[in-house]
Amino acid sequence: MPRAHIELDTHAVIAPVNRRTFGSFVEHLGRCVYDGIYEPGHPTANADGFRLDVVELVKELGSTTVRYPGGNFVSGFRWEDSVGPRATRPVRRDLAWRSIETNEVGLDEFARWLKLTDSELMLAVNLGTRGILEALDLLEYANHPSGTALSDLRIANGTPEPHNVRMWCLGNEMDGHWQTGFMSADDYGKLAARTAQAMKTAQPDLELVVCGSSGSGMPHFGDWERTVLEHSYDFVDYVSCHAYYQEYDGDLGSFLASALDMDYFIDTVVATADHVGYKKRSSKKINLSFDEWNVWYLHKSDADGDNPDPAAAASSEWRRAPRLLEDVYTVADAVVVGNLLMTLLKHSDRVTSASLAQLVNVIAPIMTEPGGPAWRQTTFYPFSITSRLASGEVIRPVIDAPTYDTARHGRASVIDAVATVDEGRAAVFLVNRDQSEPAQITIDVRALGATRVAEATTLADADVYAQNTLSDQNRVVPRANTTATLADGVLTIELPPVSWTAIGLE
């Protein structure tokens, strides 16, 4: 049995836990909105047509910030189509996902849905086919109290109070050839800088996210960030990161170590942003918004998959809400998602916003059936439990554990961990990447002042490819780990192979 020892020291603080780390993403893509969060004929639907069974699951998930309305969708979106009387809203073609957009759900309705879920709106503007003026118009409609043409239009449309959106994305993946209106780093950086300057002139307290590379496998990764930030550094607050992971050709060992690639991604973008800041002799630090991350089986037949093309997954017909990207997740997928979230916490000093992509039906932790139930995918559990337990400050652990070789990421530790500590409580999150053996773990928690194990929960299964489906919605659920014991300041626990575990301490 592999053995590992972990030391936790309250002096090894990385940063406070930022609640925006537990954000999510809703795009007008497939059945995320229509037949997902919105289904007027459903037995649980409210007056706005939103499924309240989904609302309850989103609240249980612990999602805090929701990025909207895209994604690739936003680069062809005309925001004014989505406000006003529903009966007069135009029906449009969405080029990103080759779908029909009815605009039944728009900004005002979605903002009301967010209130039901106690979430913050993170709004994206279209810089693919539109520009500065349209961004300013949307800002006026969304945030100005009253007394102007567009704020009064919002009031006339039934929303008297402003939406007060603070976080804004300046376009989406503008480096990708699949993006409507994609452009060079130089062209985008100039447009983003001018848009950001104008938006902050209108409202100085905005937090603006400039597009980074759409993936670390893009040939211009790093250079894109440098060029864009050299133009926009003085006007923006975040640079975005997007990363998706999957198992290739049965290489489970590499897949379980996907967090190492996320580490590399974050470190590279931080170094690039700081390089630009040093060149500008600026005291300002650009933070990272990891506003798309997940497991996504985009390259089912691609042995490499380093340059994703989301447009390849688009519908072949012009249909409303086609079933697109409805991945059904496994235990192994859930372990990786839990590990990726642990990695985001480890970088809380610079990654201060993140969005699991996406929320419902589309590569999502929540699935629905029209007229039927909503249920939790395997990936739901590590996210929801981490969101509930992580608070206070993130502690960097010292891990002494065996390692193994991976084909994609070099050597990886069999055990990974992170901890958080708050007044009166702490939490430890762990993964065991070993594919066949349980691991015996000892954790020195004396510095945390822990006296009791409040809970210990593990997600694992004898079949690492077990899934939750419409016909078997609770095939995979987290279970109490009864091996956890605490004596003389040392926590001992056994972790099953290919598992994710959370421990709550008091």
Cβ partners under 8 Å of residue 451, min gap 6: 486, 506
Residue showing tokens 């004596």: 487
**425-432 and 415-422 strand pairing:** antiparallel
Identity of the amino acid at 231: H
Closest CA relative to residue 225, chosen from 151, 174, 259: 174
| Partners of residue 313 on adjacent β-strands | none
Sheet with 99-101: list strands edge to edge.
Answer: 92-94, 99-101, 319-320
CA distance 99 to 327: 19
DSSP secondary structure string for all residues of 304-364: ---S--GGGGS-SS-EES---S-PPPBHHHHHHHHHHHHHHHHTTTTEEEEEEE-SBSSS-
Q: What are the angstrom distances between the C-alpha of 16 and each of 65, 118, 122, 162, 396?
A: 17, 21, 21, 30, 12
From 80, 173, 225, 247, active-site residue: 173
Number of continuous H segments (helices) and E segments (strands) in the chain: 10, 27
DSSP secondary structure string for all residues of 272-302: HHHHHHHHTT-----EEEEEEEEE----TT-
Give me the helix-helix angle, 331-346 and 380-389, nearest 10°. Answer: 30
CA distance 415 to 500: 10
From 134, 207, 292, 393, active-site residue: 292
DSSP structure class, residue 45: B
With vertex at residue 220, the alpha carbon angle to CA 219 and CA 226, rounded to the nearest 5 degrees, is 160
Q: How far is residue 255 CA from its own chain's centroid? A: 18
Residues comprising the chain, all counted: 506
Active site residue 369: no
Active site residue 393: no
CA distance 37 to 53: 9
Q: Kindly give the residue spans of alpha helices, DSSP state H, lying in 217-258.
A: 223-232, 252-256
Which residues are designated catalytic?
Answer: 173, 292
